[in-house]
Structures are given as C-alpha cells and as structure tokens.
Amino acid sequence: MFARLVLAASAIGFTIASPVVVERAAAAPSSPPSSWQPAQYSPDQARQLMQQKLSCCSGLSFVFGNKISYPNSTVYDTSVASYWSLQEAQVEPNCVFKPTTTTDVQLAVFLLHIGGKLFPGQCEFAVRSGGHTPFSGAANIENGVTIDLQSFKQLIVAADRQTVQIGTGNRWADVYSSLDAQQLATSGGRVGIVGVGGLTTGGGISFFSPRYGFVCDNVVNFQVILASGLIVNANATSYPDLWRALRGGSNNFGIVTTFTMRTFEQGKFWGGFIGLTIDTIQQQFQAFTDLLSSPQYDPYAALIYSVVYNVTGRNWYVASNFEYTKPQAYPPFFQNFTSLPQTFSTMRISNLTDFTLELAASNPLGFRQLFATGTYGASAQQMAAIYRIANTTVQPINDIAGLKWSISFQPEPTVITSKAAANGGNSLGLSTSDGNIFNVLLTATWDNAADDARVNTQAKSLFAQAQASATTLGKTNPYLYLNYAAPWQDPIAGYGADNVAALQAASKKYDPDSVFQYQVPGGFKLFK
C-alpha cells in the first residue's frame, strides 16, 4: 500500500525539487509515506509545473481513470443532479470522484492531502453520501473535488443476526428492504431516500429512538479513513475517542465507509399519517406536551407532528406522522390525538420499508430548501408561541413563488436521551438532565434563488423570536440538531463546552494537519 501511494504521488507530480516545497511535502501526511522520495525534476520543470497549476482533478484522473468524471459527462451530471436540494445540485465541482473500494478512498485522501499542501486552495474536497443536506457546500464543492460515496452499497447481516454492516452509500430504504425480508430492523432514518452517512454521523432520529436512542448510539463500529489515508476501526475497544467523536461529529474526522449497526427482531407495525382539524390545535399542543412529559413514555411510540402553512388559502393545516413499532392499531398512548376529529388517515399495519417510502413521497428532490431548528423544554405554551411566530414570519413572504413553510415538532423524551450513556456515549451533549425536550424543524421550500435572502431572513427571525419566548417561559435548551441546522446556526457549540473540547482534541490527534477542517470546508466545523 505505502509503495503504491508514494508511486502514485510522484507519478502525478506532487513532489517537485524546490527545497521549500519538498520540505512541506515531507511534513505532509504523517503516516503512510515513511519512505518518501521526492521525484527528480529540474528547477525549470518544477517552475513549469507550478505555472500550470496542475489541477487536482487531472492528477486524480491519472491515478483513478474513469472513476473521475467531468462536467457534461453522464456520471458527473447524474451525481450532481441527485442532491435533494436545488442549492446543492447547482454547485459545480471541478470533478466528481466515485470510489468503489476503500483503497480508492485511502489513496485519494492521501493524494488530496498532499495536493492541498503543495497547491494551497486547489485540492479542496467534499464528502457526499445521500446528499440530503439542504444547504450548498455541505456535501458538494465549487472548484473542488466531490467524493461521491454512493457506490458503497454493501449490506451484510452478521450470522448471529445481532449487527448489520452498512456501506455509507446506501439509502435507508435499501437497508430496510433487506432487513424487513429477514424480520430485522436497525435504528435509522425515517425517510427512505435519505442517506446513511450524513444522518448517522450527525446523530439521527429514528422511529425506534425511544427504544434504542439516537441512530449514532447504535453504531458499534465505524470503518473510517483518516486524513493520512490510514483506515481504522473506531469502536468501543479500538480508537474509542474517535468512536465517540463520530457519534455527532459529522465530517470532521475522516470518511466513514462502513457503519456496523446493532439490529433487533422487528415485524410489521402500525403507522402512517393523520390529518387533524385546525380548530383543535391548542388541544393538540396539550396532547403533544402530555405525551412528551409522560412519566411512562411508551417506547414504541414515535411522532412527527407537523403544522403546515397553506399558501393558497393563507391558512394552516395539520398532518402528523404516527408510528407505533408494534402491530397494534390505535394504542392508548396516542389516544389524546387520535380521538380528535380527523381530515384524513393513512394509518395501517405494514413494514418499515413501506412507511419510509410513504415519507419519501412527501419529500421530493429538486427544489430550493431550507432547514432550521431549535430545541425547547416540554411546553404547550411554547408550541403555541412557535405556531403564532411561524404565522407572523411567513406573512411578509407569502407572495414567494412555490413557497411551502412547515413546522415539525418531535418529542425527545428522557427515554431517548438516556440511551447514550449505556451505549458508550455520544458527542451530542444531551442526557436525562435536559428533561423532556422537543425538536422544532422549520422546512421552507421555494422556487427562485432571488428569494433566498427573504426566506432566510424570516427563518432567522422565527428562531430568534422562539428563543425569546422560550427564555420567558424558562424552556430554553442549547442543543441544535446538526442534521436540521441552517448554515447560520452553530450546532456544534450546542453540544456544550466539554464535548467541543473533546471533539477538538480528537481532531488534533487524528487529523493534525486539519484537512477535515480547512480542506473539507463544507458542513459544520469544529474550530471557528
């Protein structure tokens, strides 16, 4: 491996005989190139190479051939068009790299690392799995290399049925259709089309969270490629600090190629959407708060309670997703909702794949999208305040073409936050001492880039006012779910000072050159 790396690096001209550059190259990735030998270029050749500004993409093409693709090729265009939001799909990387083996990823990270040292600013890269982050640059990069991991599709259930190895390129519906057929499940995303890599490294909320905690709490092993190109297993006994860091640390430590997740026996269950009439909304807020605060939270109950602005009628409606992960219809725990008048219902007993495909159908690709988030202590008054604020903030923008504006409330009772401690911990900074909290997700969708600024301004105003209300009510919580955060929010700071310090220490240890801080600029970073 080392020999191949060094050979490849010198083959593409990343070493040149300028003393300064050679010194920097030698100080580059600390692990693989112990037998580093600079290639022999004359000063003239070296100058020429520098002037050509040898692009990282052409260097990578030399090594990886048609795994590197360029604009207007089918592979490149298909990859870039397959992001969820239009903002991400409109970012044009210089090239897309589609590795098919872990060795490909190791070699590429190693070469990009050296390239970044030799040609500062020219070898920036992005890491992409399902491509479902709404904001631009999180998993794609203008003037850089996008590493598209979608070929990592392995799905291997262990012989003892206790775990499954999931390649980061899978979408959750792929995972579940395979597991459903074996009467198994794992704690993962709820929308079939969403990717494994981003959701899991950012935390992850599952239908099974009240039973098993956040999605990241169920990862028993990350196979991860570090900035040096080294591949390691991060688990309870091997690199345990990295294991914990990756549970919430997103793309700050390396590229995860495989997640080994705990599985459990799971058959069909009851789920779907119910529409509730708007006139009982205050009762619904009370029902949500009672359920969230219940001293005996039913761990089979999961809920995404959404109030949606109807821009045509200038009014609001409620469409709530209920899942009860047992084959039992209308369980008593949901009764305070299900006894209210309904406008429609898709409730049924079915399999996990089917429920996640139902949710995927209501979240199509190809629009301008914004997510923004907040976390608050259980309170019907705070929910009512957020609803009122969501209404006043949408009014000045209700002329925007294609506007959709909805607020989803999701319970995060202590039964969820208690699970991390027993499973090796995570970096999210949540525990039972936070009490019963709820997540608020604003989803805005619209047609034209010209309206981006207006939408963002109103979204910021919404969360500033929600924070003021929470302060008055004594219901604030610093946690911001990273996978729902807007680019102008700071979810990592919300993990708390101790977790931030531990994450920064892990970054210095496993990525001493800060490749995943500066050369991978997308997403939420550890150092400000």
Ligand X SMILES: *[C@@H]1O[C@H](CO)[C@@H](O)[C@H](O)[C@H]1NC(C)=O
Ligand Y SMILES: Cc1cc2nc3c(=O)[nH]c(=O)nc-3n(C[C@H](O)[C@H](O)[C@H](O)COP(=O)(O)OP(=O)(O)OC[C@H]3O[C@@H](n4cnc5c(N)ncnc54)[C@H](O)[C@@H]3O)c2cc1C
Residues that bind ligand Y (CB under 6 A): 84, 127-133, 138-139, 149, 168, 189-191, 194-195, 197-199, 201-202, 204-205, 250-251, 255-256, 363, 483, 522-523
Q: Select the residue interacting with ligand X from 78, 90, 103, 233 (CB under 6 A).
A: 233
Residue 294 binds ligand X (CB under 6 A):
yes
Paired sense of beta strands 125-128 and 145-148, if any: parallel
Q: Cα-flanking dihedrals φ and ψ of residue 394, to 5°?
A: -80, -25
Per the CB < 8 A criterion, the answer to whether 81 and 128 are in contact is: no
Cβ atoms 308, 363 nearer than 8 A: no
Contact with ligand X (CB under 6 A): which of 290, 399, 447, 498? Answer: 290
Q: Name the residue nearer to ligand X (CB basis): 112 or 175.
A: 175
The entry of ligand X, ligand Y, none near residue 84 (CB within 5 to 8 angstroms by kind) is ligand Y
Q: Which helix (H) or strand (E) holds 482?
A: none
The residues facing 301 across adjacent strands are 324
Nearer to ligand X, 133 or 200 (CB): 200
Q: How far is the CB of 149 from ligand Y (least distance, A)?
A: 6
Amino acid in the structure at residue 87:
Q
**191 binds, options ligand Y, ligand X, none, Cβ within 5 to 8 A by partner type:** ligand Y
Given 55, 177, 363, 418, the residue binding ligand X (CB under 6 A): 177
CA dist 116 and 65 (Å) reads 20
Nearer to ligand Y by Cβ, of 253 and 270: the residue is 253
Could you tell which of ligand X, ligand Y, none binds residue 220, using a CB distance below 5 to 8 A set by kind?
ligand X
Q: Which two tokens stand for residue 102?
A: 């872990």
| One of 17, 50, 157, 220 touching ligand X (CB under 6 A) | 220
15 or 200: CB nearest ligand Y: 200
**Would you say 189 or 491 has its CB closer to ligand Y?**
189
By CB under 6 A, residue 402 contacts ligand X: no
Taking the least distance from each CB to ligand X, the nearer of 260 and 489 is 260
Q: Are 406 and 393 in contact (CB under 8 A)?
A: no
Distance, CA of 15 to CA of 21 (rounded, Å) = 8
- Chain centroid offset of residue 74 CA: 26
Q: Is 333 in the site for ligand X (CB under 6 A)?
A: yes
Residue 179 C-beta: closest distance to ligand X, Å: 8
Radius of gyration from C-alpha coordinates of the chain: 24
Nearer to ligand X by Cβ, of 71 and 366: the residue is: 71
**What does the DSSP assignment read for 240-292?**
HHHHHHHTT-TTSS-EEEEEEEEEEE---EEEEEEEE-GGGHHHHHHHHHHHH
**Which stretch, 59-67, 231-239, 406-414, 441-449, contacts ligand X (CB under 6 A)?**
231-239
Q: Interface with ligand X by CB under 6 A: which range of 235-243, 368-376, 455-463, 520-528?
A: 235-243
Binds ligand X (CB under 6 A): choice among 353, 373, 417, 469: 353
Question: Measured in Å, how far apart are the chain's first and last C-alpha atoms?
Answer: 35
On the 0-12 / 13-18 / 19+ scale of CB atoms within 10 A, 446 is buried
Residue 379 CB, shortest distance to ligand X, in Å, is: 14
Other Cβ atoms within 10 Å of 293 Cβ, number: 17
From ligand X, ligand Y, none, interface partner of 342 (C-beta below 5 to 8 A by class): none
**CB nearer to ligand X: pick between 18 and 353:** 353
Among 58, 102, 165, 235, binds ligand X (CB under 6 A): 235
For ligand Y, the closer CB: 164 or 385: 164
DSSP state of 449: G
Q: With binding defined as CB under 6 A, does residue 507 bind ligand X?
A: no
Instruction: Work out the number of other CB atoms within 10 angstroms of the CB of residue 350.
Output: 18
Q: How far apart are CA 505 and CA 97, in angstroms?
A: 30
The reply to whether 100 sits near ligand X by the rule CB under 6 A is: no
By rule CB under 6 A, what count of residues binds ligand X? 29
Nearest CA to 254 out of 528, 5, 484, 509 is that of: 509
Nearest to 244 by CA among 512, 509, 514, 513: 509
User: Minimum distance from CB of 222 to ligand X (Å)?
Assistant: 9
- The CB-of-237 to ligand X minimum distance in angstroms stands at 6
Please say whether the dihedral angle defined by the alpha carbons of residues 516, 143, 493 and 302, taken in this order, is positive or negative: negative
- What is the token pair recorded at 244? 């914990």
Part in contact with ligand X (CB under 6 A); list of ranges 109-117, 189-197, 305-313, 443-451: 305-313
Q: Which of 469, 480, 468 has its CA nearest to residue 440?
A: 480
**The only residue of 35, 312, 422, 474 in contact with ligand X, by rule CB under 6 A:** 312
Phi-psi region of 131 (alpha: psi -120 to 50; beta: other; left: phi over 0): left
Q: Which stretch binds ligand X (CB under 6 A): 80-88, 101-109, 152-160, 173-181?
A: 173-181
- Three-class HEC string of 139-158: CCCCCCEEEECCCCCCEEEC
In the complex, the smallest distance separating the C-beta of residue 292 from ligand X, rounded to whole angstroms, is 8
What mask of x and - would describe binding to ligand X in positions 127 to 146, judged by CB under 6 A?
Answer: --------------------
Residues engaged in binding ligand X (CB under 6 A):
71-72, 177, 180-181, 220-221, 233, 235, 237-238, 260, 290-291, 294, 310, 312-313, 316-317, 333, 336, 350-351, 353-354, 388, 391, 395
